[in-house]
Amino acid sequence: MNIGLRLLAVALFLSLLSPCFAFRLDKIDAVSDFHIGLTTGIGTGLNFGVSARFLPGNLKPGLEVEQLITDVDYSAMIHGLKLGLLLNLKIDENIYINGHYGNSQFRSSKNIIYKDLAGNSQTIVADQLTMGSYCGISLDYLMPDWGVLITPKYLINSISGQGPVSQFDFNIGKTF
């Protein structure tokens, strides 16, 4: 059997299978957003992020990426990046609750001394990449006329080798 007949046989076989395995991307129920917000925790500052949630139904898993820049006592800056997973649950037509879990990394411009949730004094060393993880909860309110999300978020950040610290964000986002 020559190569042309083999390719034709494979093409015919694939054409029979394609209707069985095909799906349309525009039929997948997905929600994505870009947000900007105010953040407090170790310092006060801004965060910028994107998230994407998918799969049909009221419970949607998703991914999130967030960049944050905070100022500590007008003397030190923290630049961080968060990469994580989220689980989105539709409560009402325009209200959603989200669970967040992921990893973070950040670097500070100076040594920072802070108190963790247990009240212990901790130190973040300057110009050293520090790793950690986070978990939290947020509530999304979707303003349907504009596609704008209002999101308060509470997180617990666990800094590698140190005690946990809380963080509160207030984000405004745009769905797309």
Reported as a single tens digit per residue, the pLDDT across 19-64 is 444 444 444 556 688 999 999 999 999 999 999 888 778 899 999 9
Percent residues over pLDDT 90 in the chain: 68
User: What is the structure's pLDDT at 58?
Assistant: 87
C-alpha to C-alpha distance for 110 and 78, rounded to whole angstroms: 9
φ, ψ dihedrals at 18, nearest 5°? -60, -40
What predicted TM-score, i.e. pTM, was given to this entire model? 0.81
* Tens-digit pLDDT profile for residues 77-101: 999 999 999 999 999 999 999 999 9
User: What is the structure's pLDDT at 27?
Assistant: 47
| pLDDT bucket at 5, cuts 50 / 70 / 90 | low
C-alpha to C-alpha distance for 128 and 108, rounded to whole angstroms: 7
Percent residues over pLDDT 70 in the chain: 82
Per DSSP bridges, beta strands 95-108 and 130-143 are: antiparallel
| pLDDT bucket at 124, cuts 50 / 70 / 90 | very high
Max Cα–Cα distance, the chain, nearest Å:
78
Q: Is 73 exposed, middle or buried (0-12, 13-18, 19+ CB in 10 A)?
A: exposed
Instruction: Concatenate the DSSP letters of all residues of the chain into one string.
Output: --HHHHHHHHHHHHHHHHHHH---GGGS--EEEEEEEEEEESEEEEEEEEEEE-SSSSEEEEEEEEEEEEEETTTEEEEEEEEEEEEEEEEETTEEEEEEEEEEEEEESS-EEEE-TTS-EEEEPTT--EEEEEEEEEEEEEETTTTEEEEEEEEEEEETTS-EEEEEEEEEEEE-
As a CATH number, domain 28-175 is: 2.40.160.20
